[in-house]
């Protein structure tokens, strides 16, 4: 099986949480497989730079670029800069995401809009900008980070679940649109992964979650990084429009 990404190039969005976020782990996994990586962050550019340094330490080229994925202008500028730095763009990982959890009747429009704008519109904007380049290259891998909450729903996460379910429909449609041009488009749906996002959970919720996970542990950012690396590799060249769930069996 060929997981080698030597001389491939990648953009990973929302990787500004250093080693504690899923984006950082994805960037490092791609670099370990041989890729050069642009790591984007909206506010935590110092953390993105730390991930870029870790990529450099692996002997690959790592760059930190600022980008608000919810802004078309910011995305176009980030993709232009990435192409300048990397030369070509073989892999796009749409990872940037936010939560603003509350029950439906308490959910205001701002909480709905920021989550949909970041998670769903951000995925659209980045994919559209990078697809232009991949179409010319007649090759590319797009991997969208959705969530098991987009498959099964979760009380208190109507906005988040809707955004993540939207990403799945988007993935399947774009896979159909771009398939004949050598571009695969897939999604990875993590379950509960140990990050700042899940650090906010109370201990009782963590215990409840663990009871539902057949593998009896939370996932790690590296578990997600491994799935993304597989989908980015030649080993996955006949896989498109799919959702790969990385949840320890929680949703079986």
Q: Would you please indicate which residues are annotated as catalytic (active-site) residues?
A: 160
- CA distance readout (Å), 28 to 6, 117, 132, 184: 13, 27, 26, 21
The number of C-alpha atoms within 13 Å of 22 and in the hemisphere containing its C-beta is: 30
Residue with smaller CB distance to ligand NAP, 5 or 125:
125
Structure tokens of 113?
């809009």
What is d(CA 94, CA 243) in angstroms, rounded to the nearest whole number?
14
Question: Quick check: 186 binds ligand NAP (CB under 6 A)?
Answer: no
Contacts with ligand NAP: how many residues (CB under 6 A)? 31
Question: Quick check: 150 binds ligand NAP (CB under 6 A)?
Answer: no
Residue with smaller CB distance to ligand NAP, 137 or 196:
196
Residue with smaller CB distance to ligand NAP, 41 or 162:
41
Question: Quick check: 70 binds ligand NAP (CB under 6 A)?
Answer: yes
Nearest approach, Cβ of residue 64 and ligand NAP (Å): 11
Nearest approach, Cβ of residue 176 and ligand NAP (Å): 23
The DSSP letter of residue 93 is E
Q: State whether the Cα torsion 60-66-70-73 is positive or negative.
A: negative
Question: Quick check: 205 binds ligand NAP (CB under 6 A)?
Answer: no
What is d(CA 227, CA 223) in angstroms, rounded to the nearest whole number?
7
**Which residues in the 15-44 window bind ligand NAP by CB under 6 A?**
15-17, 21-23, 41-44
């Amino acid at each position: 099986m060929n997981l080698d990404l030597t001389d491939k190039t990648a953009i990973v969005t929302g990787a500004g949480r250093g080693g504690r976020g899923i984006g950082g782990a994805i960037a490092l996994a791609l670099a370990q497989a041989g890729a050069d990586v642009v790591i984007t962050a909206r506010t935590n550019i110092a953390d993105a730079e730390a991930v870029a340094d870790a990529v450099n330490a692996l002997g690959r080229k790592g760059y930190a670029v600022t980008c608000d994925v919810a802004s078309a202008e910011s995305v176009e500028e980030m993709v232009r800069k990435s192409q300048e730095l990397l030369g070509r763009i073989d892999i796009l990982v749409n990872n940037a995401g936010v939560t603003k959890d509350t029950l439906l009747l308490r959910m205001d429009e701002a909480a709905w809009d920021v989550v949909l704008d970041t998670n769903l519109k951000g995925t659209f904007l980045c994919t559209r900008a990078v697809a232009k380049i991949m179409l010319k290259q007649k090759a590319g891998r797009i991997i969208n980070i959705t969530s098991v909450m987009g498959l099964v729903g979760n009380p208190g996460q109507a906005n988040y679940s809707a955004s993540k379910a939207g990403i799945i429909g988007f993935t399947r449609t774009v896979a159909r649109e771009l398939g004949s041009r050598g571009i695969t488009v897939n999604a990875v749906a993590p379950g509960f992964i140990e990050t700042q996002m899940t650090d906010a959970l109370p201990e009782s919720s963590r215990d409840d979650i663990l009871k539902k996970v057949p593998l009896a542990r939370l996932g790690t950012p590296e578990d997600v990084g491994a799935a993304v690396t597989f989908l980015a590799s030649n080993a996955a060249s006949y896989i498109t429009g799919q959702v790969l769930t990385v949840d320890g069996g929680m949703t079986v």
